Amino acid sequence: MKASNINKSGMFRIRAFNTDHTCPLKDKVYSQKHATSKLIGGIVKPKLVDHKRKYTPYDIRSDVKIYLRVDVNYSLAWRAKENALISLRGTTTASHNKLPAYMMNITYPGSHIRLKKTDKNEFLYLFVALNNCIQDFNRCRPVIVVDGSHLRGSYNGTFVAASTMDGAVSDRNESIIKAVTKMYKNVPHYAYLQ
């Protein structure tokens, strides 16, 4: 096509037009709209500012369909959410690198706080026993409750908490009593089933 401006009016006059299509086949096949995870992440970022808000990849897919009129799959929506969260809060690695500054025994006198890293200087685990908890342990019944929760995200792992308790103790998971029995062979172990 050849066209020219008509006296700077914003209108154009077509001087020549060729109806033969010369574009490559790939331009015909891939003519659908595409959106990247970074683009979508930038769009949904304001909705993730409130950390309490539940905003799932399914919600992102729905919003992208409404606002951009583009269908995206679940994994693209998930990556978009991850990009937005990293943009807002930084990476988990950067957060782990800040732990030594926060967790110092000087900050919590009498407490036992230990940060363990791998040989590559990567975060492995953190042990925290605050002084108030240590002091109150002597006043509790000799029952220790252990619970574990699987962590999600790039690091996975398990969060394990041990505490003492007054009242009924329930062991809903047999693996906890098995693990404790293996570790502490000379100590009696009991599980209360409701």
Residues written for the chain: 194
**119 plus 172 within the same structural domain:** yes
Residues 81 and 129 in one domain: no
Q: Are residues 114 and 168 in the same domain?
A: yes
Rounded CA-CA distance 92/155 in Å is 8
Is residue 45 a contact partner of residue 88, using CB atoms and an 8 Å limit? yes
Q: Are residues 64 and 132 in the same domain?
A: no
Domain end among 64, 89, 114: 89
Convert the pLDDT of each residue in 154-192 to its tens digit.
667 788 887 776 544 555 566 766 776 776 677 666 655
Does one domain contain both 79 and 110? no
Roughly what angle, to the nearest 10 degrees, separates helices 37-44 and 74-89?
60
For the ranges 72-86, 90-104, 107-121, the one whose mean pLDDT is highest: 72-86
- Looking at this protein, which amino acid is placed at residue 111? S
- Residue span of the structural domain in which 176 resides: 106-183
Say if 68 falls within a structural domain.
Answer: yes
Q: Which pTM was predicted? A: 0.48
Number of domains, the chain: 2
Q: Which amino acid is at 115?
A: L
